[in-house]
Amino acid sequence: MNGLFIGLMSGTSIDAVDAALVGFAQQPLLIATHSHPIEPKLRQQLLMLSEGCHNELTLMLMLDQRMGKLFAEAANTLLKKASIDATAVCAIGSHGQTIRHYPESGCSLQIGDANLIAEHSGITTVADFRRRDLAAGGEGAPLVPAFHNAVFRSNSEDRVIVNIGGIANITHLPANADTVVSGFDTGPGNILMDGWTMRHLKQPFDEKGRWAKSGKVEQPLLNQLLQDGYFMQLPPKSTGREHFNIEWLDRQLETYQQQLSPESVQATLCQLTASTIAQAVKEHHPAAEALYICGGGVHNETVMQQLEAELPRHKVTSTRELGISPDWVEAIAFAWLAKERLAARPGNLPAVTGASRPVVLGGVYLGKGKEER
């Protein structure tokens, strides 16, 4: 199906709702973008809910509704900015806000009621992308590799796409067309750095990684952090805020005897992100020649330099070089997944998620005027 689609993405960082208006002819064409703010109090409530709190079922219902309306608002603002009418849009693909991800138990929960998105925008909405993959025995994540495969694959260069969001994930796109695409979450992306920056600088993130750069990587602490069982686990694997969070870091620092400056802890966390990505590439994708980075982490110059230092023989650059702005890859991917859903094509890659088969992802909530009368 050709036409316009909207992708809505709010990731583990809970920094903003990314909204992308995309046209799909041959390659995706990014027509307009909008970053919709999540006000601090709402962010705080989402964090509380993600971590577990008193009266959480009621809070979940409230926030499911609040986020549904916010997602619709994000889509409507995007269309207003682009001067495009809702009737021109085939569908919205809404990832939702993850509040729990327990793939080992077969569950993952994203909120942001799609009934409200469809009703308030008037546009057919596809949501709940992860649970069909879980039902088929998969991790339900990562889901972006199929999109990476559709738009970034080359037969002349062996590529790895690296998304550095709250969590970091990689997709290997072999140059050899017969080799299967694989991918997994490597571990923390920005999530630990963001938490540490908030605690010490009262800022949501370390602008350009400057604070990390002012510190010194503490190798023994890094070695200790690298002992976490997740890094040893073989793919398929995925993770989230349930595992890598500020309490995880506090427990690690408690057992680390030496007193460190906050900036050296930050430098070490930054290195942890770079080292675990580099390690994943070296261990699992030795044929890879180039890394294309997307997600907010691309703006952290320290993590980018550390990646280059860890992988001196690889090209390390951003997805911009492949024609897609690194800030919008994920949102575009969910627009694409909505398109695949309407075409009844599978959106998961079993080699990535571990599902028993390719499955069609997402539930469809029809927009206004789409009902049969």
Q: Which of 11, 174, 297, 362 forms a contact with Mg ion (CB under 5 A)?
A: 11
What sign results for the dihedral spanned by CA atoms 245, 300, 46, 187? Answer: negative
Check binding of 97 to ligand ATP (CB under 6 A): no
- Residues in 175-194 that interact with ligand ATP by CB under 6 A: 190, 194
Q: Decide if residue 12 touches ligand ATP (CB under 6 A).
A: yes
CB of 315 vs ligand ATP, minimal distance in Å: 21
Assess contact for 278 and 307: CB atoms under 8 A. Answer: yes
DSSP secondary structure string for all residues of 37-98: E--HHHHHHHHHHHH--TTHHHHHHHHHHHHHHHHHHHHHHHHHHHT--GGGEEEEEE--EE
Helical axes 262-284 vs 246-255, angle rounded to 10°? 100
Collect all residues with Cβ–Cβ distance below 8 Å to 206 and sequence separation of at least 6.
193, 194, 197, 212, 266, 270, 300
| Measured torsion, CA atoms of residues 52, 96, 118, 57, in degrees rounded to the nearest 10 | -10
Binding ligand ATP (rule: CB under 6 A), the pick from 103, 140, 145, 165 is: 165
Q: Are strands 28-37 and 3-9 parallel, antiparallel or unpaired?
A: unpaired
Considering the rule CB under 6 A, would residue 221 count as an interface residue with ligand ATP?
no
Is 300 one of the binding residues for ligand ATP (CB under 6 A)?
yes
Q: How many residues bind ligand ATP (CB under 6 A)?
A: 21
- Per-residue mark of binding to ligand ATP, 115-154 (x: CB under 6 A): ----------------------------------------
Q: Which amino acid is at 187?
A: G
Distance of CA 298 to the CA centre of its chain: 13
Of the candidates 6, 12, 15, 143, which one interacts with Mg ion according to CB under 5 A? 15
Q: x-or-dash pattern for ligand ATP, window 236-275, by CB under 6 A?
A: ----------------------------------------
Q: Which residues bind Mg ion (CB under 5 A)?
A: 11, 13, 15
- Please report, as ranges, the residues that interact with ligand ATP according to CB under 6 A: 11-13, 15, 163, 165-167, 190, 194, 205-209, 295-297, 299-300, 330
